[in-house]
Structure 1
């Protein structure tokens, strides 16, 4: 898959609209707690500024559901951009209203304008044509550098591309890097190739698992999704999270893995708790003997040892989804131990965004991984073999 390249566009002194993904985590005081996504966009922004472009930046933050909500304002992002770029960042108090349109119109070469949260507009998530047209009217060139939302057919990601031809639209450096990396990972991995798949639900990872099985040599399952497989095997899983409607699908995945000769690992012990809380009473039990009213919230030490043994010879690791409820210290040990082992290995290690990226960043291992994707949902859809709606218009036909 070859994408329209930003380096091949005539950008000099043009007005450029860059869709970024500044959906960054905030603490309770409204401060940015992890600016990786902002830093990841700097290469594309600086490249445009070096061509004397006037740069208009657009992003969402959170899920304001089409309404103005101060909690989701991009003002903190504007401040962080100012610090990182060491340039003034003009801020528009709306998206396509009077303030944004007038500031975009007056924007001069090498100036930067950041629009307010694009999801304050109800039409954004509906791929509204009128909104797409208004956004497109602000600029001469469109650049998509928001891999994290490229699986969404939204106005600023998909609809807007209709108003720019191939000479005036392209993928930014971050988007191109993500697509290229995942393409090589899926099509030309160095073997043995292992996938560590966790998180709460099978439903969110089902298609990705089906698509991954013919490509990998080993699969390691963790997190809440493991209990759907364990229940299908006839184990007593107590009050653990389970998706009863997917038991047959879980069996099909295990049967397919066996047919393809893929080693399929499931937890052999878990840390169980009497309730879903930090102050819960917890104990270590085998995966077959979770008490009736208890729930499994982390993989146990025997599973950690088993998984480490299984991972010891692999050359490529793709990790999407934590092994337990890592947000609670009491149930983060399994995820943390696996993360340290993966980080210390000599394998190419790829973290598939979202919670897993947050996990490795929390324990200070983000610099030890080969590649951390900026998009959880988008990376999953790539693994499912889908062409993302935001990427499709940027593919060279």
Structure 2
């Protein structure tokens, strides 16, 4: 199991926090479309770290929203203030600060929320000068943004090299829970689905030798099927990965048995050139669920259907509800999957729900992240 050295964990360094200004990189990237419950889950996950930091002189929160090309009202972090007012411990006040590089923070409140960090081009460029301007407002740095720690951005990589830096409580739990699969892989199963094949293929390759079985869905399943000369009709796939997937051993890969197309449910063997597979069918839900019952650990990343259309979310929801009642360890991740679980009030029904999507995939594939290396390896 992968562990972070204890001298980099915030919970082991609380005495050093007292009286200091602490900059906390969080991920409160919440769009209005994702709903209040999803937003509340993302923000509530920060509560333990924020409570632990109360002895600090000031706690400065830094996050991004979206990927804006220029400053705009919709992507301003100002709209997050109501979320934080609900979860801040002991009725603490929070102020919004329209921070600019080189400015000092004059607010006297315990909590300060900076403007969207991606409004500044230095963030995505991992610019050292921009990182220095962030470092100038604080004495310590805490990374509580596991879900963006696969990004080589200034607030994730360059900044922690400039300040004494630690991992927050939630970040520590993300690493601990996801690392379970490395400690007993032969009793584990991976459920891998979704449209972003590029981010999932490295994990698929890596885990073929680490888990008992990998169950596929969505675009990555369709691409694998086509690479093995199976008919997929007009279903989502990526031809550029066919050669890579064709050589993967098939003894550990499980594909759907049936699929929900636009107007009907079909067995996979009956799919023709006019079909478009948009969700897994009931036979697949049952088959995947039965496999999961037999394992000690399940890790699931990515929706099993086109869940942005309610007609094609039944497979994902059916599978999720079956997992709810199992007694094994069930870890779920991925932004779209989490949003659907929150929408249906299921997010508390699993052993652990990761806040990471791409970060979860990268961590499982590489067993580290740029945001981890920036703190642990900086010396």
TM-score range normalised by the length of the shorter chain: over 0.9
Per-residue Cα deviation, 1:148-170 (whole angstroms, up to 9, x for no partner):
11111111111112212xxx211
Following the alignment from structure 1 to structure 2, what is the Cα–Cα distance between the partners of residues 292 and 232? Answer: 15
* 1:248-294 per-position Cα deviation (integer Å, ceiling 9, x unaligned): 221222x1x53xxx3x2101211112xxxxxxxx1112213323233
RMSD between aligned alpha carbons? 2.0
Whole-Å separation in 1 of the counterparts to 2:76 and 2:56: 28
Aligned to 2:162: 163
Partner in structure 1 of residue 51 of structure 2: 46
Q: For the Cα contact (< 8 Å) 1:190–1:315, is it kept in 2? A: no
Question: Offset at 1:191?
Answer: 5.4
Do the aligned partners of 1:269 and 1:285 also contact (CA within 8 Å) in 2?
Answer: yes
Cα separation, 2, equivalents of 1:32 and 1:138: 32
Query: Are 1:96 and 2:96 matched, yes or no?
Result: no
- C-alpha separation in 2, matches of 1:321 and 1:131: 34
Count of residues paired in the alignment? 370
Moved more, 130-139 or 209-218: 209-218
TM-score (norm 1): 0.88
1:196-218 superposed Cα distances (whole Å, 9 cap, x missing partner): 11101432201011111222111
Instruction: Look up the match of 2:360.
Output: 379
3-state SS, counterpart of residue 143 of structure 1: strand
**Matching residue within 297, 306, 309 for 1:316:** 297
Q: Is residue 2:325 matched to residue 1:344?
A: yes
Cα deviation code 1:296-349 (max 9, x no counterpart): 001112222222222221121100011111221211111111111111111100
Q: CA deviation at 1:32?
A: 7.3
Q: Check whether the contact 1:224–1:297 (CA below 8 A) recurs between aligned residues.
A: no
Which of 173, 193, 198 is the equivalent residue of 1:198? 193
Cα deviation, 1:46-104, whole Å, max 9, x if unaligned, reads 2111x243111100011113x2111111112122212221222111123436xxx24x2
More helix by share: 2
1:75 to 75, 78, 84: 78
- 3-state secondary structure, aligned to 2:67: coil
Partner Cα distance (2:336, 2:100) in 1: 29
- Partners of 1:235 and 1:289 within 8 A in 2: no
| 3-state SS of 2:132 partner | helix
* 1:201/1:243 contact within 8 Å kept: no
Corresponding residue number in structure 1 for 2:202:
207
Match of 2:313 in 1: 332
Preserved contact between residue 23 and residue 62 of structure 2 (Cα < 8 Å): yes
Inter-CA distance 178–27: structure 2 relative to 1 (3 Å threshold): same
The residue aligned with 2:26 is 20
| Cα distance in structure 1, aligned partners of 2:43 and 2:166 | 19
CA contact (8 A) 1:5 1:172 kept: yes
Question: Equivalent residue for 2:260?
Answer: 271
Alignment partners' CA distance in 2, 1:360 and 1:31: 13
Q: Are 2:142 and 1:136 aligned?
A: no
Decide whether the 8 Å contact of 1:123 with 1:131 is kept in 2: yes
CA spacing shift, 1:201–1:288, aligned 2, 3 Å: farther
Give, in whole Å, the separation in 1 of the partners of 2:181 and 2:38.
Answer: 32
Structure 2 stretches of 5 or more lacking a match? none
Residues 268 and 303, structure 1, Cα contact 8 Å, conserved in 2:
yes
SS at match of 1:383: helix
